Structure 1
Amino acid sequence: MVNLEVKTSVNSYPIYVDENIRHQTKHFLPKKYSVIHIVTDKRVADLYLDDLKESLEGHPHVFHSIIEEGEKSKCVADFEYLHTRSIQFGLDRESLVIALGGGVVGDLAGFVAATYMRGIDYIQVPTTILAHDSSVGGKVAINHALGKNLIGSFYPPEAVIYDVQTLQTLPAKEVRSGYAEIVKEALIADKGLFDNIMQTKLSQVTNDTLKDHIFRGIKIKTHFVQADEKEKGIRAHLNFGHTLGHALEAKYGYGELAHGEAVAIGMLFAMEVSNTIYSKNLPVELLYKWLKDNGFPLLIKEINIDSLFNQMKLDKKVVNNQIQLVLLKDIGNPVTLELSDEDLQNYLETFINKMTKI
């Protein structure tokens, strides 16, 4: 088993990474809890809810709630629904929420835990590759109709229990989405990891390779989280590719483009802007070819550039109405740069015109 520890201002929590550890969940609980509320989605419930409940056998009060799959569940209605269920189940301040699922479940259940009775414990049990990123760091949130993750908090879990065996049931779209975040981490911090991934075919990835890539991605995420817990400085570098990515998600409607698929396009954009500003030769074509070879949807449908730009202006990293774009001076050397509206619109128009004709 691979273990890591994340140290925050309010707690330190372990990350466990191994195969089949969901069956031993009760052994990873940091203390006894009065009531346990498992939150999951329909697809994951069919696959792994019984395993998790059996692993908690003997606890007198274990309940569960099942939400719909997908980004649309990160909404006020489901947030209120889970609070109502928690009240009905009798959760108190000594209770626990377990988020069993991908990033949507983790973000939503974590935000419920952060706000229920002003905050109770929660544990992340990720079941997607993408959730290797979202489950670590304590950022929990729901979406607003005008933007992604605009309602949320920083609220770290008590543990992350990452059973990589659950990743074997992921559809190809989710594998792509998760790997985009590992590529992001590699580009901002680890050229060796980036080079290794560029030689990996996702349809043939082995469990050992997957564990290695995930662990290295989590280590990178942990480094940035511990250095900048509340995203006041370098933690913002983890948003590489996300400014355009989030805007594309919102404009197309959450769910049409998976989060990582949108971020992949955002990374291509950020790398091209980086090459222009810093006169670099970042491997945009190499990344583009790898994305295309692994089935990422890269053709941007006709989209109103002014509308897309306005959506980017809703990004959480906007300061004084100016977009702070995460760029690369080189692989492993990210920077945050404030761009004028005129420059950004020009870069965006050039990029979108290119991506609508590929």
Structure 2
Amino acid sequence: MTTSRPRLVLVGLPGAGKTTVGGLLARALAVDFVDSDQLVERAAGTTVPEVFRTQGEARFRELEHEAVARALSEHDGVLALGGGAVLHPGTQEALRGHTVVLLDVVPERALARVALSGERPLLADDPAGTFAALRHDRLPVYERVATVTVSTSDRRPQDVAAEVLRAVAQTDGSPVPDEALQRLGTPSGAPSGSVAPTRIPVAGPSSYDVVVGRHLDDEVVRLTDGASRALVLHARATEHLARRLADALGANGVDALLRALPDAEDAKTLDVLASCWELLGEQRFGREDVVVAVGGGATTDVAGFVAATWLRGVRLVNVPTTLLGMVDAAVGGKTGINTAHGKNLVGSFHLPAGVVCDLDSLSTLPAADLRAGLAEVVKCGFIADERILRLVEADGGLGAQDPRSDVLRELVERAVAVKARVVGDDLREAGLREILNYGHTFGHAIERTEGYRWRHGDAVAVGMVFAAELARAAGVLADSVVARHRAVLGLLELPTTYAAGRWAELYEAMTHDKKVRGNALRFVVLEDVARTTMLRAPAPEQLEAAYAAVQG
């Protein structure tokens, strides 16, 4: 029997930010984080909403109390309790002697975060009325068991976590550990980077790791060991980082040559490829040499195709600097360029030697680009990992949009893990990998219709809503899941509508999609969250109904 006890226990209403702040506190204190819902799901072998639906609230509360009692005696990190966990008299008694932090939130802010979420069973029918009743019943209990109270309303999660550390230290009469504040980061700075990077393996014929963390220049150097020369292809916006990496490679005996690529989709042309091949020929790049891609998805697409085609394949190291690149383009080995007939129609599969996702690069990413990248993260949540959706919903999307937050780091790790699992099982898109195209058929049609002036993630966001509406029109997806698409994407300020009067152009563009078989449109759709299927040759009236539903 262990005698461990949590460093901190967080309580509060739904939408108070317990998951987000708890993860930050755990990282700051260099301990593990767990929430009671996770423990219940582990014990029940299913999701909390499913326990509610099939076994009822009474059974859920029983499982919850058992899980909390075990965690209070065994878990030595940060523990977040579900909103109603403290109602159990046994749990109230078990909390005696623990450091319990109440994260308080005003009703308006909490409702903005959770009212439209399909993952709050008690709030599903009448969010405002039910929330008011929950607050009335639970707040006195929270206040009774708490030793510290901190408000989370309209505040950055990092600021809340820092106040928790200071408040707890003041209560205990002890100083706030300097290293904890350094890991957490100050309001004007970034985290210290002392946390070890996360390595996510990608299986396949040539396995490799995706490394997620901060201050990862050494990882790039390691992946180029043995090369004499490196061609560092970079976006113009990442020239500073590319030069820094080139210096690091040079110090390790690798002669690095820098080449800037045109911006975004302008880089994905045959002329750009030809110029890169010409340069490699002039420099006599051999099979032992390496191509390093530093930039967003367009950069890794082009650099990957260059590496795949030079001498029938040389080593590739991807250093994505955008969120979209980290969770999508840089992982999986797909490379390509565009033609007049569509996007990414010419390309190849070429696996990188490794992918280095240095989260520090996201601090300079424009907010609109960060949000666009989150569309691909949300996609992974809908097709495979519901925890992603919950992380966004838990604090109204605030942590997801903060490049310094532990929430965003976990979202990146989880989205990469989803893609790693899929591409590891289906490298060449023979079957399973098609689920990664959720939202992309209509999204690519928007991009083509708009002359690629739309951000890819923005187009995919609308594409997911279209796919959800199409699944509803086909009778395979519940209204609540369709509504959840708009709710989650809305929290991230992503578009969910598209202009009216463009159906003919959009339909024509979709007929060029790679998923078309025998002139029949095929769409990846959901039957539920994390349950995908293929909708083949949907009826014209279903397609038109879906388009009507996304017109704005």
Scaled by the length of structure 1, the TM-score of the pair is: 0.93
4+ residue runs of structure 1 moved beyond 6 angstroms?
none
What residue in structure 2 maps to residue 88 of structure 1?
282
What residue in structure 2 maps to residue 16 of structure 1?
211
What residue in structure 1 maps to residue 360 of structure 2?
165
Please list, as runs of the form range in 1=range in 2, the aligned pairs for 1:67-78 lying within 5 A after superposition. Answer: 67-78=261-272
Count of aligned pairs between the two proteins: 350
Out of 518, 523, 526, which is 1:320 matched to?
518
Which structure 2 residue ranges, 5 or more long, are not aligned?
A: 1-196
Deviations 1:303-350 (A, max 9, x none): 43122111101111111111221010110111112124xx1x433333
What residue in structure 2 maps to residue 275 of structure 1?
472
Deviations 1:36-90 (A, max 9, x none): 1000011111x31222112212325210110121112111111111111222222
Q: 1:24 to 1:331 in 2, by over 3 A?
A: closer
Question: Counterpart of 2:479 in 1: which secondary structure?
Answer: coil
What residue in structure 2 maps to residue 6 of structure 1?
202
Q: What is the CA distance between 1:108 and its match in structure 2?
A: 0.6
Q: 1:12 to 1:82 in 2, by over 3 A?
A: same
Q: What is the CA distance between 1:297 and its match in structure 2?
A: 3.5
Question: Counterpart of 1:92 in 2: which secondary structure?
Answer: coil
Question: Counterpart of 1:316 in 2: which secondary structure?
Answer: coil
Question: Counterpart of 2:232 in 1: which secondary structure?
Answer: strand
Question: Counterpart of 1:17 in 2: which secondary structure?
Answer: strand
287-296 vs 232-241, greater mean Cα deviation:
287-296
Deviations 1:129-184 (A, max 9, x none): 10121111101111111111100111111111111111111112211121000100
Mapped to 2, the partners of 1:221 and 1:279 lie a distance apart of 23
- Contact 2:465/2:550, CA 8 A, preserved across alignment: no
Out of 202, 216, 219, which is 2:414 matched to?
216
What residue in structure 1 maps to residue 531 of structure 2?
333
Larger RCO, structure (CA 8 Å, separation 6 or more): 1
Deviations 1:171-222 (A, max 9, x none): 1221112100010011011112212223322444643111110001111101
Q: What is the CA distance between 1:302 and its match in structure 2?
A: 4.2
Please list, as runs of the form range in 1=range in 2, the aligned pairs for 1:1-358 lying within 5 A after superposition. Answer: 1-9=197-205, 11-22=206-217, 24-29=219-224, 31-45=225-239, 47-58=240-251, 59-132=253-326, 133-199=328-394, 200-201=397-398, 202-204=400-402, 206-254=404-452, 256-277=453-474, 278-340=476-538, 343=539, 345-357=540-552
Mapped to 1, the partners of 2:479 and 2:384 lie a distance apart of 17
- Contact 2:305/2:335, CA 8 A, preserved across alignment: yes
Q: Over aligned residue pairs, what C-alpha RMSD do you find?
A: 1.7
Which structure 1 residue ranges, 5 or more long, are not aligned?
A: none
Mapped to 1, the partners of 2:355 and 2:477 lie a distance apart of 41
Q: 1:51 to 1:150 in 2, by over 3 A?
A: same
- Contact 1:282/1:330, CA 8 A, preserved across alignment: no
Q: What is the CA distance between 1:249 and its match in structure 2?
A: 0.5
Question: Counterpart of 1:151 in 2: which secondary structure?
Answer: strand
- Contact 1:326/1:336, CA 8 A, preserved across alignment: yes
272-281 vs 305-314, greater mean Cα deviation:
272-281
Deviations 1:281-314 (A, max 9, x none): 3432333234334332344234431221111011
Scaled by the length of structure 2, the TM-score of the pair is: 0.61
- Contact 2:481/2:528, CA 8 A, preserved across alignment: no
- Contact 2:461/2:495, CA 8 A, preserved across alignment: no
